Amino acid sequence: MSNRTSLQTVVLVLCTIAFGTAWADKYSDTIEVFEGAVVGDFFENSYGYAVFPKIGKAGIGIGGAHGKGRVYVGGAHVGDTKMTQLSVGLQLGGQAFSQIIFFKDKRAFEEFSSGNFEFGAQAQAVALTAGASAAATTTGKAAGASGGEHDASTVGEYHKGMAIFTVAKGGLMYEASVSGQKFGYDDVK
DSSP symbols for 57-111: EEEEEEEEEEEEEEEEETTEEEEEEEEEEEEEEEEEEEEEEEEEEEESSHHHHHH
Task: Pick 170 or 130 by higher pLDDT.
Answer: 170
Break the chain into its structural domains and give their ranges. Answer: 3-187
% of the chain beyond a pLDDT of 90: 30
Contacts 24+ apart (CB under 8 A), 138-144: 138/162, 138/163, 138/164
Residue 184 pLDDT class (50, 70, 90 cuts):
very high
Write the pLDDT tens digit of every residue in 49-74. 999 999 998 888 888 999 999 999 99
18-22, 52-56, 79-83: lowest mean pLDDT where? 18-22
Query: CA Rg, the chain, in Å?
Result: 18
Task: Pick 105 or 9 by higher pLDDT.
Answer: 105
Full-model pTM: 0.71
